[in-house]
Structure 1
């Protein structure tokens, strides 16, 4: 793992908040020259600290008004690999996040859909028929208070 100095951390902090900063603006914000910033960004990308530059979209503007969390428990004896079983779900556009977790469930999926009817259809046609699913629990978010926030990079 790469050791990050205070300038690397300042660069990451600034870019997480606005990835469209020009090199000149970034350099001014972190007190380095544009060429130093450019070299550091390239190194951080090469070393896998910066994974990409994503475009964030407003789900509601796209008609995706329902956020739900689907908790899955699997019967490990009925499937060769639980991770392989959920692999087909990872390719679905409705599935935003998927985590293998500890506790009473094995996986948590975060999904975005247009409405409750679409959520019901997704559950009944995609998740329920899956081989080896033992239990499904779903919670619908009433409001999203924070999402996709920046990671803590400053000490």
Structure 2
């Protein structure tokens, strides 16, 4: 498959926010014809970029949140590591930071098993040298 373009990434982001969006709504949001969006969606599904459409649990489902602290491998940078992270549905935010850690990635999963699988996927990404996993036990304050 060719590299994802900005429109592909926008479609993916829209579906991550609401997997029930219609093709017409997606087309309107990205400024393309419905048929063009349908073709893109079929390509993304065929290539395995979109593996499934799923449900994200609300506050009653108590998702497991965790911070993944990443360090780059020698010769790698944010530009190498961030694009594949953006494509992971469980990733909620990515922060480039200074210090011993290069990236802080907030993820949300349905439980420890999915978190373990996600951590392994992230650790296997090209350019990632080390991953430290910090599960969130309790959120004392969250604004915005």
- Regarding TM over 0.5, the answer is yes
Structure 2: gaps spanning 5 or more residues: 1-55
In the alignment, which residue of structure 2 is the partner of 1:31?
none
Structure 1 segments of 4+ aligned residues over 6 angstroms from their partners:
none
What is the TM-score normalised by the length of structure 1?
0.52
In the alignment, which residue of structure 2 is the partner of 1:89?
85
Which has the larger Rg?
1
In the alignment, which residue of structure 2 is the partner of 1:71?
69
8 Å contact from structure 1 (residues 65, 112) kept in 2: yes
Report the number of matched residues. 89
In the alignment, which residue of structure 1 is the partner of 2:139?
144
In the alignment, which residue of structure 1 is the partner of 2:122?
127
How far did residue 116 of structure 1 move? 0.7
Structure 1: gaps spanning 5 or more residues: 1-56, 151-155
Change in CA separation of 1:59 and 1:145 when aligned onto 2, cut-off 3 Å: farther
In the alignment, which residue of structure 2 is the partner of 1:110?
106
Q: Is 1:99 the counterpart of 2:95 in the alignment? A: yes
How far did residue 82 of structure 1 move? 2.9
